[in-house]
Structure 1
Amino acid sequence: MKSKQMNKPVYIQSMEASDIYEHVKRNRVLIKKYHGMIPFSLELIKLRKLGEKRFVETEIKHSKKFISDDIINVKFKMKVRSGEEIVNGIKKKLKELDDAASDDYKTKLNSYIKLIEDEIKDDKWKEVKNADLRRYFYENGFTITEVDEETGEILKTTKYVVYKRSSSKSRTGQCLFIKEELHEEMINWSRMYLSFQPNKKIDYAGLLAYESLVGSSLESTIKINPKNMLIVADKESKFKQTCNVVRTGKNGFLESFEEETHVINSLFDGESLLDKKYFPNNQSMLLLRNHMFKSAAFNTNIQEFLRAKCPKDIEYDQWEIPNMFGELIKAKDIEFIFTPTSLKALKFSDVIGGKQKMWSYWKELVDAESSVFGICKHEKQSKRGRDNRGNILQQTSYQMLNCLPMSANDMDALTSFEKDYINDLKNNDDVFIDYITKEKNDMNSNMMFADLYHRNNDIVHTKIFRDFRKSTINKYVNHIKRGKLRLKGDYCVLFGNPIEYLYHAIGESPGEQLLKGNEIHTTLFEPNKELIAFRNPNTSPSNVLIAKNRHVPEITKWFNLTDNIVCVNAINFAIQDILSGCDYDSDTMVIFDDTKLLEIGKRCSGKYLVCVNDVASQSRDYVLNNRDMCDIDNQLAESQRNIGEVVNLGQFCMSVYWDMLASGTKEKNLKELMKKIDVMTILSGICIDLAKKFYEIKISAEIKHVQSIPELNRNKPLFWKFLGDPKMNKKNKKKKEYDMYNCPMDFLFNNMSKIKNATHRENIPLENLLEKRNIAKGNRKQEQKLISYVEEKCNEINALHCASMEDEERNKAIDNIIKYYNFKVQKLKVKPDTMYAILLHMVKSKSNNATKLMNILHTTQKDTFLEAFKTKKSHINNTNSPKTA
């Protein structure tokens, strides 16, 4: 493979386990669809090093993508339906078919019914549930058989065995299966060639998580020599504080207790210090990956600091600093400093005889692989635009807004910028065109309309543009109704106690603590400002952080930090619990500089105590075999299902709490409800930890217990309809009713429902904007072919929207379809007369696919398409001074 192609991802098949089961047991034909992906990663680099004969990938010309059948992503969302269920479904379908359905189609359906009924007692027609399906494939693997459609001859059989989780799907229960002949080498490489004993107890859940780190998607790579690394011990801050402690109560369910407890913060959890020489311009944090290694490395003047702190009686070139194992490394060689929280391999040190041996072994392995580290990401600035004063904007989430004690008037003030902006989107053409240009992608028609506007801005008066504009603005308003409200602020990567970290590396402490309590250091905002901050997931008022910004000269001296880094303090301050159990391996918090939001946030101070998890737990040991791997992944799948329900239930409780507070409910009743919100706060964290720890609770029972409290026996708030609750959309369910609540999100819903209509515009028919051509010279055959392509494309995309797929996978599939049909249309070379004929017939026939047809023409025949329209500046001025966004 050419070097320029080495950093491209490889697309792989992504299949439902139930479909594979039907292929193996019921001879179902599988259609190859490459909707999964192995991203550019250390793992893909390793696979490609195996050579083209061992790891086979093929380039698809029309999309310039690479595909491979050597690894398959398997999803476990659908059970295997029984023969009886399938037969009943087909019989129902036959009854619904009208006379237009062909006899041949009906005959095929009846033949299939007969086939199943003849074999109905065979095991292969029994129902198989998800958990059993996973166990079957994890223990047995599967074989894909390719058959010649005409002759029935078997062309190829490929055996696949369970491999590992893909890094991006690690919590969804999806799993990668690999060709059997590649498995041993790749799994041994993923596990650092360590001698894990089969069927021996181990932290298997941790191993499955950490072996997947090499599969993380990368932006690029860098080389860091192990001889330049200093590993230092972790450091904690432990202190007493009155908190809401959640543990099992007398009734057997979780309860919240207000009491003094120990808060323990790991000061440098998941962060590292990397010398400035490794950083590109304007980057301060690199999220690094290697074998069982994950760390957010911050841009540090390590050598300058060490030179400044060198003991006066020692030559700098001779000064040696001990690591956590007492091994000496010369100060002049130190360029990378981290703790065991970054090096996950140390968790498996007993396999090799101790932590010091594991440290040496890991360094040797990194050195043997050319000291290459993957860079997953760096800090980034918001893409949400700026206000009319040039201040950067970032959006809230519905959980952030709904946990705040605010009134309808407060929300009215918070939404003032968005309401003005929506008014400009409706009435100021330049603002609207600027917005759609920024939001353009391969799947929308934004750039087509923007280019038409720049050629002839009368396009804004056509019905097709007005409909597009209305739809676009409606989507924007609905987006805000989901809690996505833009305010002055941005996300910043958390950097914990950086000065203490530097001094800790040389075995010292700074003279004084430079950041105390809730003080932070970020150049995003000016110093001595009070700010409000949140981290996702945000579940209650106890997660609201009020911070005071300071600019600390010593931090500026030793660190090179951009605006999107925030230094925080965890010494004697419960920031990690306030921020929902954060660590520093690239976790972020959004910081807002908004007077009204700060005023509202301050109402939480002192009233809502930090929640601490005291639920009885223990590490869950498993045995290294595929059966236990299956148990872990089934647990993960269950926790993923639970976490969404826990978060939504917490927000329902929060909405009821505000509504009851507004109606004058007694303090005692409100306190009991707030305790349930505390439970949901801790439960969301437990869901994430489920596979690694065993908790002496049943999540589903805890959810049902909270759902059963009398305060929740009421309709959902108005905003709930925008959260897409799947349980409310199922057939045969009673239609869900909604009530207006006195809660922040319903205030927002109401506020955004009262926006004024756009100014009326005169109508200009689209055909009036076309340059007249000789329609008789148009290529009718080419026109029909093009229209046929667009219809096929639309049908295929519509089918995907009906399919059970995740958004990411669906978007990849849609992207493939768009690229395929663009490739076909691009080869047609449409002439001006034909272009005119296509557009005119499209208008006359009032085609439902008009926008899609115009968009594919714009993408594939751009010059000819644009030249089909007259060049003109509008005689009507509907624009005012544009507002920045």
Structure 2
Amino acid sequence: MKNENTYIMNLEACYIYKDIMNGIEISSKNKDLNKLFSATIPYSLETIRMDEIYKDTFYEVNKKQYTKKIINITFEKNYTVWNEDKEFVNREGENQKGKRVVFANKKKIRKYLYVNGFVMDGIKYIFYKRGAGKAKNGYALYIQDSMQETLIDRSRLGLKFEKNELLDLTSVLAYESLITSGLSFTIELDPKTEILLIEDIYGIEFDSNASVTRESNGEIITGNEILKLQNCLTDGQALIDESIFDKYGKSGHAFMLLRNDLLKSCGFNTKIQAFFLANNITTVIDMFGTVYDASKIKLITTPNSIKFLKFAYKIGDGSKKGCYEYWKEHITNVFGVVKCDKEGNYGSYNRTTYQLLNSIPNLSYEDLMAITEREREYVMLLKNDNAVFRNYLGCDAKASLKLEKHMDNGDISLYEDTDLMNALLMVNSDMQYTKKFKKMKSDLIANYVSHLKQGKIRMKDNKYVTLISNPYEMLLASIGKYDGKSIMHGREVYCSYYEDGQEFCATRNPHINGGNVMYTRNKHHKEYIMWFNFTDNICVINFYDNDAPDRLQGADTDSDTMLLLKKKIMADKAKYCEDNFPTPINRVRGSSKPRKNNMEELYKLDVILSDNYIGRIVNMSQIINSYLNDAITKGKSQEIIDELYHASSRLSSMSQIEIDKSKKVFDNISMSKELSKMRQIQSIRYAREEDKYGEMVNKMIVPNFFDMISDSNEYRVFEKFDTPLDILQEVLLFNRGKRLEGDKNKEMKELLVKNSRYVEGISQKRQFKPILEIIAECGKKINGLRMKTCTLNDKSKKTVEKKAKKEAIEKIKDMEICSATILNYLKLCFSKEDKDYSKYATLSLNILFCAKKKELLPCFKKGDMDNDEVLIKMEDKCDYNIFGEEYQKSIRKNLT
């Protein structure tokens, strides 16, 4: 087995159910491999184990790894049948006969397949597990019946649960799936001698000015309270000795996110052995009084990381000590590493979110002009400087020269990851003077501006950092010297990237309201430099004496990240939010009540889990926040402001409930009911308008920016609000770009090689029609998505378009087509003489490029590009600093 994703079958449950009901044998034979195996499972402790126990699990086809042992099942469709006799009244009020009716809904199908499984190719498949990501989508992994018991028993370390036994089924399902997480690599630790388990440590009790959401008689209510809090300082974190990072070539990293059976822990790079030596520690004692040789300890962790301890009642005398000893005996010494810390794609210029910006009521036009200054300058550079735009496309000047040399040798492998226009620019830069290129440039810049209008603004020194809480106190606790005090106080953080005393606005996703905006200040402590190997991507945060975990939407330290924004405007706004918006705190308790261990109960849990409301909660929160911001700006009564803030705070708690559904059950709360109540808030306004069927309905009045960030606006009316995201739309208005020097117009046909004898192969005119039919079929599907009658949302439209293009590309790939044929086909497309071809010219170019790069690129003339202006990456002097990347403008011929 290779360390890579494995392709598995991806089947829709309703079609399986349909075949079963109709007595049809389910078979995977003679099916399209790409369509059938469209899901993947990652390289994980689970797949490693499967490969060890069942040697025939994985196989390879065309350098891709596959298995038929596991199948991903989706539950997205009802099973419907045509009823000829069904009568109904249509939109025009006429009686009609014949209608498609639901024979079995998704719930019924799920229940049937959970209880009964199914047979495919003569092999029985039954429910196996739900992965963390797949669970929230309602997907389930099924496995061949003969393997299920062995692998489940191993995942549970031999824990036995009888059928119908009462247990915390939600937790069992969540924890047994931990080993399905994808891994970067594995490490070895001896659980018997190299792990020190200490008690979780806690900060002091303190008072928090909070906006508290509680459940009362099946409803949730929110109000301000002074709440007593005490935080766990070690929730999901661990300390790993630096020698482990050195051993596995990760000395430049600060954490490893670990997995093992019923263990999830984020281990941070610590000088454990140096600390023991400095304190003359030769032996250490775990939480149960067991003595260890200190020189062998490589990992320090707590019960919060070892989920197996929750099932102590099933082991021996029921003690935690006995349970821990059992766990050490039964796990292997192979630990999976899901990830290490790394610099994000945007480095220290990370983007804000619309949720953050729109939760700060006093962000003015002038503030937003300052915040967007670099982005606005960059947009104008894209418009006015072709060298900058080509750089934006990813057209690196030195790479371009390298590509040309390979092209001369007939090697197009380096073009494989290059997009169409970029590749054509590398062949002939006159491409930039064609109408198609100019339109593409205009569309790409408009798309970039659209992203900015959605609140995705880059600012200098914005960093996503991984959180660790009070690690020095944890280190002290490992040698019995934690005395309940901390070296950190209040809203302190420590991140080595920033100077001592630097102030921040801090936020964590999902960000819901102003009570999630946190002010914090960087404070250097010598202990963090002395005993820890933190990188610039790590942030020590103080959970000791303040409500930071709640302010940051239930943050813990099992690899949670936070965005730090250094800009003074944002830090000042964070202070305002701290002063004016109490921290939202969720006190709605999810139940871990015992449930019967059977498939009917599991089906009920997964139905609840698959009904996910997080998107609707986030959208509703931004509508409420916009009304709140508008009310504050316009000086409306405190009563209105309080009602709106409590609603927004309640949504913050509701989002936490949704996120926790895979671990806890909240069947005492109806999310749909709570969201309906939000719509009845007195301040929310409606307009009476016709819907698309001509019926009069109430449409919610929402801020203008919702047209940019939501697909579901059919029953909404847009209006200008005094809210930051609507103001941002006005800030991001741009003048037209100037006409560039030497600008001229070229036709695509002019860039094609004049005669097919200059390219490989003999032109086959008989292939034109089959090529056109494939591309036209794709084009018609795409055009259908743009018709008013199409009811799909934008996301679904993109999925359909992507699938249509993929199918066309695969069909063209299967054809033997030479360069001469492609050249003459493209001449037809760009000649405008034959409309059947010309109307699909751009689509033809795209599909042929994706399917036949090697044959297509030689169809274009090589241009004289010696005098083209290009950007070269520099490390010292530069003409442009583009979000931290420094470039100098140069003439292309000077690079050779």
The TM-score range, normalised by the shorter chain, is 0.7 to 0.9
1:737 counterpart (717, 721, 724) = 717
Corresponding residue for residue 8 of structure 1 = 4
Task: Encode CA deviations 1:74-127: one digit per residue, 9 max, x unaligned.
Answer: 1222222244399889x99xx9xxxxxxxxxxxxxx9xx9xx99xxxxxxx862
The amino acid across from 1:17 in the alignment is: A
Corresponding residue for residue 848 of structure 1 = 840
Paired residues of 2:415 and 2:423 also in contact (CA < 8 A)? no
Corresponding residue for residue 339 of structure 1 = 302
Paired residues of 1:42 and 1:214 also in contact (CA < 8 A)? yes
1:811–1:537 CA distance, 2 compared to 1 (3 A): farther
The amino acid across from 1:183 in the alignment is: Q
- Counterpart Cα distance in 2 of 1:665 and 1:251: 32
Q: How does 1:69-88 map to 2 (within 5 A)?
A: 69-84=68-83
- Counterpart Cα distance in 2 of 1:521 and 1:418: 29
The alpha-carbon deviation at position 309 of structure 1 amounts to 1.1
The alpha-carbon deviation at position 256 of structure 1 amounts to 2.5
The amino acid across from 1:48 in the alignment is: D
How high is the TM-score relative to the length of structure 2?
Answer: 0.83
The amino acid across from 1:138 in the alignment is: Y
Corresponding residue for residue 112 of structure 2 = 136
Corresponding residue for residue 708 of structure 2 = 722
The alpha-carbon deviation at position 847 of structure 1 amounts to 4.6
Q: Which deviates more from structure 2 when the two are superposed, residues 671-680 or residues 506-515?
A: 506-515
Q: Which deviates more from structure 2 when the two are superposed, residues 216-225 or residues 689-698?
A: 689-698
Paired residues of 2:493 and 2:520 also in contact (CA < 8 A)? yes
The alpha-carbon deviation at position 596 of structure 1 amounts to 2.1
- Counterpart Cα distance in 2 of 1:754 and 1:472: 15
Matched, 1:301 2:271: yes
Corresponding residue for residue 778 of structure 1 = 763
- Determine helix, strand or coil for the equivalent of 1:598: helix
1:379–1:534 CA distance, 2 compared to 1 (3 A): same
The alpha-carbon deviation at position 23 of structure 1 amounts to 1.7
Corresponding residue for residue 823 of structure 2 = 836
The amino acid across from 2:148 in the alignment is: H
- Counterpart Cα distance in 2 of 1:285 and 1:798: 49
Matched, 1:481 2:453: yes
Corresponding residue for residue 751 of structure 2 = 769
Equivalent pairs counted in the alignment come to 811
The alpha-carbon deviation at position 784 of structure 1 amounts to 5.5
The amino acid across from 1:437 in the alignment is: G
2:436 counterpart (454, 461, 464) = 464
1:132–1:717 CA distance, 2 compared to 1 (3 A): same
1:284–1:252 CA distance, 2 compared to 1 (3 A): closer
1:334–1:136 CA distance, 2 compared to 1 (3 A): same
**CA RMSD, 1 decimal:** 3.5
Matched, 1:746 2:717: no
1:800–1:754 CA distance, 2 compared to 1 (3 A): closer
The amino acid across from 1:743 in the alignment is: T
The amino acid across from 1:868 in the alignment is: F
1:213 counterpart (178, 185, 195) = 178
1:698–1:531 CA distance, 2 compared to 1 (3 A): same
1:618–1:273 CA distance, 2 compared to 1 (3 A): same
The amino acid across from 1:673 in the alignment is: L
Corresponding residue for residue 400 of structure 1 = 356
Matched, 1:873 2:838: no
Paired residues of 1:288 and 1:373 also in contact (CA < 8 A)? yes
Matched, 1:59 2:60: yes
Task: Encode CA deviations 1:301-357: one digit per residue, 9 max, x unaligned.
Answer: 11111111115xxxxxxx221111111111001011111111111111111133222
- Determine helix, strand or coil for the equivalent of 2:3: coil
1:482–1:443 CA distance, 2 compared to 1 (3 A): farther
Task: Encode CA deviations 1:802-860: one digit per residue, 9 max, x unaligned.
Answer: 999989998996897588457536x64x34x4453243233214352535535643774
The amino acid across from 1:297 in the alignment is: G
The amino acid across from 1:44 in the alignment is: T
- Counterpart Cα distance in 1 of 2:704 and 2:417: 32
Corresponding residue for residue 320 of structure 2 = 355
The alpha-carbon deviation at position 742 of structure 1 amounts to 0.7
1:277 counterpart (243, 264, 275) = 243
Matched, 1:550 2:534: no
Q: How does 1:789-808 map to 2 (within 5 A)?
A: none
1:442–1:302 CA distance, 2 compared to 1 (3 A): same
Matched, 1:33 2:36: yes
The alpha-carbon deviation at position 511 of structure 1 amounts to 10
Corresponding residue for residue 340 of structure 2 = 378
Paired residues of 1:797 and 1:817 also in contact (CA < 8 A)? no
Corresponding residue for residue 46 of structure 1 = 49
Matched, 1:223 2:166: no
- Counterpart Cα distance in 2 of 1:866 and 1:218: 41
Matched, 1:649 2:639: no
Task: Encode CA deviations 1:385-422: one digit per residue, 9 max, x unaligned.
Answer: 6xxxxxx2001111111111212222222112111111
Paired residues of 1:835 and 1:868 also in contact (CA < 8 A)? no
1:240–1:858 CA distance, 2 compared to 1 (3 A): closer
1:481–1:26 CA distance, 2 compared to 1 (3 A): farther
The alpha-carbon deviation at position 430 of structure 1 amounts to 2.1
Corresponding residue for residue 587 of structure 1 = 560
- Counterpart Cα distance in 2 of 1:615 and 1:427: 55
Q: How does 1:308-323 map to 2 (within 5 A)?
A: 308-310=278-280, 319-323=282-286
1:851–1:249 CA distance, 2 compared to 1 (3 A): closer
1:658 counterpart (629, 635, 638) = 629
1:365–1:798 CA distance, 2 compared to 1 (3 A): farther
1:875–1:565 CA distance, 2 compared to 1 (3 A): closer
Corresponding residue for residue 107 of structure 1 = none
Paired residues of 1:399 and 1:538 also in contact (CA < 8 A)? yes
The amino acid across from 2:600 in the alignment is: R
1:808–1:200 CA distance, 2 compared to 1 (3 A): farther
1:521–1:654 CA distance, 2 compared to 1 (3 A): same
The alpha-carbon deviation at position 136 of structure 1 amounts to 1.6
- Determine helix, strand or coil for the equivalent of 1:373: strand
The amino acid across from 1:394 in the alignment is: N
Task: Encode CA deviations 1:210-240: one digit per residue, 9 max, x unaligned.
Answer: 1111111111211122121111111122423
- Counterpart Cα distance in 1 of 2:798 and 2:146: 30
Matched, 1:162 2:165: no
1:867–1:247 CA distance, 2 compared to 1 (3 A): closer
Paired residues of 1:288 and 1:296 also in contact (CA < 8 A)? yes
Corresponding residue for residue 103 of structure 1 = none
- Determine helix, strand or coil for the equivalent of 2:329: helix
1:269–1:18 CA distance, 2 compared to 1 (3 A): same
The amino acid across from 2:263 in the alignment is: F
5+ residue gaps, structure 1: 96-109, 118-124, 145-155, 312-318, 386-391
Paired residues of 1:202 and 1:623 also in contact (CA < 8 A)? yes
1:690–1:281 CA distance, 2 compared to 1 (3 A): closer
- Counterpart Cα distance in 1 of 2:42 and 2:85: 37
The alpha-carbon deviation at position 296 of structure 1 amounts to 0.9
- Determine helix, strand or coil for the equivalent of 2:123: strand
The alpha-carbon deviation at position 50 of structure 1 amounts to 3.2
Paired residues of 2:823 and 2:859 also in contact (CA < 8 A)? no
Paired residues of 1:246 and 1:615 also in contact (CA < 8 A)? no
The amino acid across from 2:751 in the alignment is: L
The alpha-carbon deviation at position 462 of structure 1 amounts to 0.7
How high is the TM-score relative to the length of structure 1?
Answer: 0.84
- Counterpart Cα distance in 1 of 2:626 and 2:654: 18
1:265–1:452 CA distance, 2 compared to 1 (3 A): same
Identity, % of aligned positions: 28
Matched, 1:202 2:175: no
1:853–1:864 CA distance, 2 compared to 1 (3 A): closer
1:562–1:862 CA distance, 2 compared to 1 (3 A): farther
5+ residue gaps, structure 2: 400-412, 687-700, 832-836, 872-877, 884-896
